[in-house]
C-alpha cells in the first residue's frame, strides 16, 4: 500500500473540502445577511447532527491517511520524533473533531458561542501551535533526505508561532495553507523515492 501517496491525496482532498465548506458558509451568510431567521434555519440544516457526524468521520479518515504518511515517513527514515508527534497530533485533532461535533450539534444556533467555547478555543490554539512547532522541528530533522521537508518544517514552525502571537494569527492561516500544499508535494515526492 502506498501510504505516502495516499497521504498526499488525502492532504489535497482535505484542502479542497475545507475550501468548499468555507465558501459555502460565506455564500450562505452573505446571501441571507438581512434575514436572521432564514440564515439560522439554513445553518441548522448545514450543521445538523447527521451532517456534523458525517463530516467528522470523513475528516478523521483523511487525518488518519495524512498522519499515516508522516508516521510511515518517520519509520522509513528512522525519525522517532516525527512518529511520536504524528500520533499525538492525530489524537489531538480527532478529540477536537469529536468535541466540536457534539458541542455544535447541541446548540440552537451554531454561530452562538458559549463561555466554555472561548476557553476551549484558547486552549486548542495553544496546543495546536505547539503541535505545529513540534511537527515543523521533526520535519527539519530530515535535513535533505526528503524533498520539501525543510520548507514544510519552516512553514509549520512559522504557522505555530504566528497562531499563538494573536496579533499576527491571520498570517498563520496563509503560512498553514502553504505548509499543507508543500506537505502534499513532499508526500508525492517521497512516495516516488521510497515506495517503488
Q: For residue range 123-182, list pLDDT tens digits in order.
A: 888 999 999 999 999 999 987 889 999 999 999 999 999 988 878 888 989 999 999 999
- The one-character DSSP state at 108 is S
Q: Which residues contact 125 (CB under 8 A, 6 or more apart)?
A: 163, 164, 169
- Average pLDDT of the residues in 37-48: 74
Expressed as residue numbers, the domain containing 64 is 3-194
Distance CA 9, CA 39 (A): 34
Q: With a cut of 90, say whether residue 61 has pLDDT above it.
A: yes
The pLDDT value given to residue 112: 67
Q: Provide the whole-model pTM.
A: 0.88
Distance CA 94, CA 99 (A): 9
pLDDT in tens, 136-149: 999 999 878 899 99
Distance CA 135, CA 129 (A): 10
Q: What's the structural domain count of the chain? A: 1
Amino acid at each position: 500500500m502506498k501510504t505516502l501517496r495516499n497521504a498526499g491525496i488525502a492532504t489535497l482532498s482535505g484542502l479542497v473540502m475545507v475550501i468548499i465548506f468555507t465558501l459555502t458558509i460565506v455564500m450562505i451568510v452573505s446571501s441571507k445577511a438581512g434575514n436572521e431567521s432564514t440564515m439560522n434555519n439554513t445553518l441548522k440544516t448545514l450543521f445538523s447532527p447527521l451532517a456534523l457526524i458525517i463530516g467528522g468521520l470523513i475528516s478523521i479518515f483523511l487525518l488518519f491517511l495524512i498522519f499515516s504518511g508522516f508516521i510511515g515517513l518517520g519509520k522509513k527514515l528512522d525519525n522517532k520524533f516525527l512518529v511520536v508527534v504524528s500520533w499525538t497530533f492525530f489524537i489531538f485533532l480527532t478529540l477536537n473533531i469529536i468535541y466540536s461535533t457534539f458541542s455544535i450539534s447541541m446548540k440552537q444556533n451554531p454561530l452562538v458561542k458559549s463561555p466554555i467555547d472561548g476557553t476551549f478555543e484558547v486552549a486548542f490554539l495553544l496546543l495546536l501551535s505547539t503541535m505545529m512547532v513540534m511537527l515543523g522541528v521533526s520535519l527539519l530533522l530530515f535535513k535533505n533526505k526528503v524533498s520539501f521537508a525543510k520548507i514544510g518544517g519552516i512553514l509549520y514552525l512559522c504557522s505555530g508561532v504566528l497562531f499563538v502571537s494573536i496579533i499576527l494569527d491571520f498570517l498563520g492561516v496563509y503560512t498553514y495553507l502553504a505548509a499543507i500544499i508543500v506537505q502534499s508535494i513532499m508526500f508525492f515526492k517521497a512516495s516516488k523515492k521510497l515506495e517503488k
